[in-house]
Amino acid sequence: MASNWPILSILIWLPILGGLAILTVGNQRAPLARVMALVISILVFVFSIFMLMAFDPSTAAMKFSELSPWIAAFNVNYHLGVDGFSVPLILLTTFFGVLVVIAGWEVIQERVQQYMAAFLIMEGLMVGVFSALDALLFYVFFEAMLIPMFLLIGMWGGPRRVYATIKFFLYTFLGSVFMLIGLIYLYIQSGTWSILEWQDFPLTLEVQKWLFLGFLAAFSVKIPMWPVHTWLPDAHVEAPTGGSVILAAIMLKIGGYGFIRFSLPITPDAAAALDWLIIALSLITVVYIGFVALVQEDMKKLIAYSSISHMGFVTLGLFIAFAIFQNSDGGEGAALGVEGAMVQMISHGFISGALFLCVGVLYDRLHSRMIVDYGGVAHTMPWFAAFAVLFFMANSGLPGTSGFVGEFMVILAAFQANFWYAFLASLTLILGAAYSLWLVKRVIFGPVGSKKVAKLEDINAREALVLGTLAVAVLLLGLWPEPLVNLMHASVDQLLAHIQQPKFTMAGN
Amino acid sequence: MNTTNMLLAAPEFWVLIMACVILIADLFIREERRGIIHMMAMITLVFAAIITVRGDYLSEGLRSATAFNGSFIRDPMGDVLKLFSFFILGIVYVYAKFYLRQFRMFRTDFYTLTLFALLGVMLLISANSLVTIYLGLELTSLSTYALVAFDRESKRGSEAAMKYFVLGSMASGMLLYGMSMIYGATGSMDLADISVAISNQDGDSMILVFGLVFLVVGLAFKLGVVPFHMWIPDVYEGAPAAVTLFISAIPKMAGFAMAYRLLYTGLGDLHTDWQQMLSILAVLSIVLGNLAAIAQTNIKRMLAYSTISHMGFILMGLLPGTADGFGASMYYVIVYSLMSAGAFGMIILLSARGVEAEQLDDFKGLNQRNGWYAAIMAMIMFSMAGVPVFVGFFAKWLVIKAALDAGLLWLAISAVIFSVVGAFYYLRVIKLMYFDEPLTESPIDAPVDFNAVISLNGLLMLGLGVFSGSLIAVCMSAFGA
């Protein structure tokens, strides 16, 4: 692999241009659109593997940097680069890029070329979000990503799709415009849009707090945290299976990534001063939303709430670092928290994606997402039942699966911050098990629920391939998380060292 | 001062001559060969652009040159605005020809009136004294009053023209009154002299500010910002779509230039006074425009209210009174004109023989009828809503930055909140096109030139966004930033 290839640009533009090319195929030639989408997404995934192999995890510096002027009048650059935080997320994105194309292979029969194009364009934009080092470029990718998702939910979604998709769009749009004001303010102060330069740019505590709140508005909606989570269950329920998968597996992670890339390093003192707020919101998210998930009767809604609850762990893991610094001088636990948050993001990507695919498999056959319509699926679909049980177990944090690793790391770190944080966070192990296993009991086990269930056919080779791949990923990450942690170790250390340096002293406050 | 360099106004002379030539040529051209008139008008625009580009008028170290005793000015900013006026008017002509033919209104008057209006716009852009400003303004306004009533049979059109005329005349009166006060206070009609007089504190500041208020009122009427916006929805709805297309796109360029010349070149020292006024006008326009647009079912009215909110954004760029800010405003106005032309072009495209597609429901299921047209409209709507990566986002970004430069955080915050509100009604159009079933299956067909131009217009939304650096650089360097 030639090291001077613009590998990040390839990862961004190949799917976008490929998607546009698929649009020209036309309505009549659906098979061609499918094949093209599959080829392009596999190519992108292969390229991302190349990137992983060429990536040197020993330093925290940005790799594969690309820099060229974009809007010279305002010092905006097309600046890309990746570190230990972005590489795993980019791989997750390209991985799911392939899976959703396969998952939508037979299910989508109308306007196939537009469906496939929307996914590919979205994939490119999401890779862009994870690799942008220029704040305006980041914002452009961050927002542009809403367009294909908006169309996906609206065009191929369920009965209340219009309500859900407009709510999704406006909610996230409203959150991010506040961030835009913050970004413009930072540019006026610093004269640059470079995220890396902003990280070293001195700011008073007062200013940092406002900026922090601006970032929070954008990323808390995206991740999402209680109380701005209400768009997610609607969007998930109405979205087509592929849309739900991308939404849960990757789009939510962009919120977490935003906290890592913006909130923590650019406004570290505000993050330290306001960490109580994030921790409180995270714990409420983890516990309260866990209870909410328990009472859901719609499978997709249950998984959506479970996603929100799990994402609470991510924000918790990221922001307990400050409390740990105060309690111990080593800061070992802080690294555990941040790494736990990252592992949790990746693992939740696999698990939630897999769960939505499982529901999709059932939905394609019975056209119902209601738990009461099922029962005893294990009798008619034994293979499917095996996969579904594995994923729900992983969702409840069973040791040996990836779900356990991230949660365990975060809880362990939380103990070093405050016993009660850890106590509340641990409740999720009970709640998660309760709603996951109760769903399994009602849907998968028990006597066959209805005649329709009795006629169900087991998963075909295509579905088995998708679920099998994910099962391998979940187990692999659960049993051997070492490579993933190593990938980000240097970046985590650098982030933690950075956020311990107060910035406002430099600003002369 | 150079008093005789009339060549500076060569583009204006060319347009004037051609407008007269077309007027006379009409007498000799039979009705079925009226396409020639269209071609002549297009040639007028092309050569006007060439003359403007080729004009090598700047002497060493100067950023502008004046003629006619300093009442006419050529500068890069004016050239850029004029070039885009020609370009967008060319787009307008292609759309309008299709419309006028369909509605049996393909008459030469449309071309002469729009060319005279263009002449007025050019004069306004290059105006350097109060008299020239008034002259250009009236030339533009009178031509557009007549254009609104272009469909003689239409009652709505006549009513709209009447309203427009009465309100427009009132605005002109206000402007004239304000100008007379400024003249009374400073003793000069020349913007440069006025500026000198004010900075020497020659005039009575009371009268100056009083005059300024009337100037701003007149300006606000012409731009159509709240609370002087009442004519916009009625005129947009009442006028034939081809005329609405013209009104929404071209005169706004002049409105921006007029605001710049009057407020900055002339009354730059009263910056703090007009900044306050404009910031209130801006926020009211953005709020009311976006809220009222939600309630509309007629797409022409919806776009009218959307225009009002866009004008609010354009005012935001003027607030800091810096080169960056004016550049931002100019960028916005150019982008707005392109978006608006595209949107009305789509309305014209969907208009079936004799019936304008002015209801939002006419857009239902467009994606299933024709995916490419739907994509064009979607790009225009996303651009108007200010969603990246479309060009409208960069325009909003720059004016929000301008508001922050001026230290008006409250204005920036209300602007972004209401642009989210605004996103709702733009999304509704997209929802109708993509998520709903079509009401009719009748195919949409348009001539080749129309298809080419509307495709270009739609792609510009994306292209100018992805490669936004170039146009931004043009606008900024026009102000020497």
Summarised one tens digit per residue, pLDDT across range A254-307 is: 999 999 999 888 988 888 888 889 999 999 998 899 899 988 888 889 999 999
Mean pLDDT of all residues in B190-213: 84
**Beta-carbon count within 10 A of B454 CB:** 26
Token pair for B203: 């005039």
CA dist B23 and B28 (Å) reads: 10
pLDDT at B304: 93
Residue B57 predicted with pLDDT over 80: no
Tell me, what's the pLDDT at A377? 83
Q: At what angle do helices A382-395 and A402-417 cross, to 10 degrees?
A: 10
Tokens of B183: 């003249």
Nearest CA in chain B to A165: B431
Q: Percent of chain A scored above 70 by pLDDT?
A: 97
Strand partners, A95: none
Chain A residue with the nearest C-alpha to that of B404: A185
pLDDT at B1: 45
Nearest-CA distance from B235 to chain A in Å? Answer: 31
Q: Write out the two tokens for A408.
A: 């365990």
ipTM of the modeled complex = 0.90
Listed in sequence order, the DSSP H helices in B126-240 are 130-148, 155-186, 191-199, 205-223, 231-238
Give, in order, the Cα–Cα distances in Å from B430 to each of A154, B370, B427.
10, 14, 5
| Among candidate residues A46, A125, A120, A129, the one with its CA nearest the CA of residue A85 | A129
CA separation for the pair A83, B473 (Å, rounded)? 32
Reference B129, options B313, B261, B310; nearest CA is B261
Query: Do residues B464 and B335 make contact, with C-beta atoms less than 8 angstroms apart?
Result: yes
User: How high is the pLDDT of residue B132?
Assistant: 92
Nearest-angstrom CA–CA distance, B406 and B399: 11
Distance from CA of B61 to the nearest CA of A (A): 22
Token pair in block for residue B459: 């792609």
Residue A222: pLDDT over 70: yes
Buried b (16+ CB within 10 A) or exposed e, A407-424: bbbbbebbbbbeeebbeb
Question: CA B151, CA A333: separation in Å to the nearest integer?
Answer: 77
User: SS3 sequence, A133-175?
Assistant: CEHHHHHHHHHHCHHHHHHHHHHHCCCCHHHHHHHHHHHHHHH
Chain A: residue nearest B473 by CA? A73
In chain A, the percentage of residues whose pLDDT exceeds 90 is: 24
Q: Output the pLDDT for position A482.
A: 85
Mean per-residue pLDDT over chain B, rounded: 89
| Of A249, A315, A304, residue with least CA distance to A278 | A315
Return the higher-pLDDT residue of B273 and B201.
B273
pTM above 0.90, yes or no: yes
Share above pLDDT 90 across residues of chain B, in percent, rounded to a whole number: 49
Contact B413 A140 (CB under 8 A): no
**Portion 273-302 of A in contact with B at CB < 8 A:** none
Query: What's the pLDDT at B203?
Result: 63
Contact predicate A89/A123, CB 8 Å? no
Beta bridge partners of B72: B67, B127
CB pairs under 8 A between A and B: 94
Q: Does B195 touch chain A (CB under 8 A)?
A: no
How many Å lie between the alpha carbon of B107 and the closest alpha carbon of chain A?
39
Q: Which has more pLDDT, B32 or A117?
A: A117
Q: Cα dihedral sign for A208, A210, A215, A221?
A: positive
Contact list, A147 vs chain B (CB under 8 Å)? 382, 387
Residue with tokens 């009609």: B189
Instruction: State the pairing for strand pair B65-67/B72-74.
Output: antiparallel
Q: Does B407 touch chain A (CB under 8 A)?
A: no
Which amino acid belongs to residue B30? R
Q: Which residues pair with B67 in a beta bridge?
A: B72
How far from A362 is each of A226, A377, A439, A452, B80, CA to CA, in Å?
A: 29, 9, 14, 11, 60
Cβ separation B469–A146 shorter than 8 A: no
End-to-end CA distance of chain B: give it in Å, rounded.
26
Q: Report the alpha-carbon angle B32-B36-B40, nearest 5.
A: 155
Q: What is the mean pLDDT of residues B370-383?
A: 91
- Reading the block at residue B180, the tokens are 């007379």
The residue of chain A with its CA nearest to that of B323 is A73
Q: How far is A229 from chain B (nearest CA, A)?
A: 18
DSSP letters spanning A202-220 = ---HHHHHHHHHHHHHHHH
Supply the DSSP string of A368-379, one letter for each residue: --BGGG---HHH
- For chain B, what's the residue count? 481
Calculate the alpha carbon distances from A297 to A309, A372, A443, A457 in Å: 17, 7, 11, 23
Comparing CB atoms, the residue among B420, B435, B473 nearest residue A170 is B420
Residue whose pair of structure tokens reads 């809604």 in the numeric block? A301
Q: Which residues fall within 8 angstroms of residue A94, CB to CB, at 6 or more apart? A: A11, A41, A44, A45, A47, A48, A123, A127
Q: Which residues pair with A79 in a beta bridge?
A: A67
Residue B267 and residue B278: Cα distance in Å, rounded?
14
Measuring CA to CA, which residue among B402, B258, B253, B250 is closest to residue B326?
B402
Pick from A121-130, B22-31, B63-72: least confident: B63-72
Q: Do B473 and A72 touch (CB under 8 A)?
A: yes
CA distance B478 to B7: 21
Residue A205 corresponds to which amino acid? L
Answer whether B87 touches A (CB < 8 Å).
no
Report the pLDDT value the prediction gives residue A203, as an integer from 0 to 100.
Answer: 85
- What average pLDDT does the segment B81-104 reach? 91
Over the stretch B324-334, which tens digit does the pLDDT of each residue have? Answer: 899 999 999 99
Contacts of B394 in chain A (CB under 8 A): 71
Contact of A177 with B393, CB cutoff 8 Å: no
Cα Dmax for chain B? 70
Structure tokens at A206: 């007062």
* pLDDT for residue B169 is more than 50: yes
For residue B265, give every residue at least 6 positions away whose Cβ sits within 8 Å of its Cβ, in sequence order, or none: B128, B191, B192, B195
Residue A507's pLDDT band, with cuts at 50, 70 and 90, is low
Taking the C-alpha atoms of residue B318 and residue B399, their distance in angstroms, rounded to an integer, is 8
- Of residues A27 and B415, more confidence is placed in B415
A298 φ/ψ angles, rounded to the nearest 5 degrees: -105, 125
Q: Which residue has the tokens 């909606």?
A: A221
Burial of A207 (0-12, 13-18, 19+ CB in 10 A): buried
Q: What is the mean pLDDT of chain A?
A: 87
- Tokens 């008299």, residue? B131
For residue B207, the number of C-alpha atoms closer than 13 Å in the C-beta half-sphere is 15
Considering only CA atoms, which of A171, A444, A448, A436 is closest in space to residue A296?
A436
Residue, of A454 and A184, whose pLDDT is higher = A184
Average pLDDT score over residue span A426-447: 86
Q: Is A155 on the interface with B (CB under 8 A)?
A: yes
Please write the tens of the pLDDT for every residue from A314-363: 898 888 888 888 776 666 778 888 888 999 999 999 999 999 999 988 88
Q: What is the pLDDT of residue A496?
A: 84
Domain boundaries, chain B: 3-477
Alpha carbons B11 and B89: distance in angstroms, whole number: 15
Inter-CA distances, B333 with A307, B140, B454, Å: 44, 17, 19
User: Pick from A73, A154, A178: which is nearest to B472 by CB?
Assistant: A73
A17 touches chain B (CB under 8 A): no
CB atoms near residue B442 (< 10 Å): 9
Token pair belonging to B119: 């002449």
Q: Could you read off the pLDDT of B294-319 as tens digits, one per residue?
A: 988 899 999 999 999 999 999 999 99
User: What does the buried/exposed string (b/e) look like for B45-67 if buried means 16 or more CB atoms within 10 Å of the residue's CB?
Assistant: beebbebbeebebeeeeeebbbb
Q: Which residue of A73, A114, A140 is in closest CB contact with B473?
A: A73
Coil, helix or strand at residue A274: coil
Over residues A131-153, mean pLDDT: 92
Cite the DSSP H helix spans in A55-134: 86-103, 112-131
pLDDT band at B323 (very low <50, low <70, confident <90, very high): confident
Q: DSSP H helical segments within A274-376, as ranges?
A: 275-294, 299-319, 321-327, 332-366
> Do residues A334 and A409 lie in contact, with contact meaning Cβ atoms separated by under 8 Å?
no
For residue B227, is the peptide bond before it cis, meaning its omega torsion is within 30 degrees of 0? yes
Does residue B59 surpass a pLDDT of 70? no
Using CA coordinates, name the residue in chain B closest to A154. Answer: B435
Q: Give A-chain residues touching B481 at CB under 8 angstroms.
A: 73
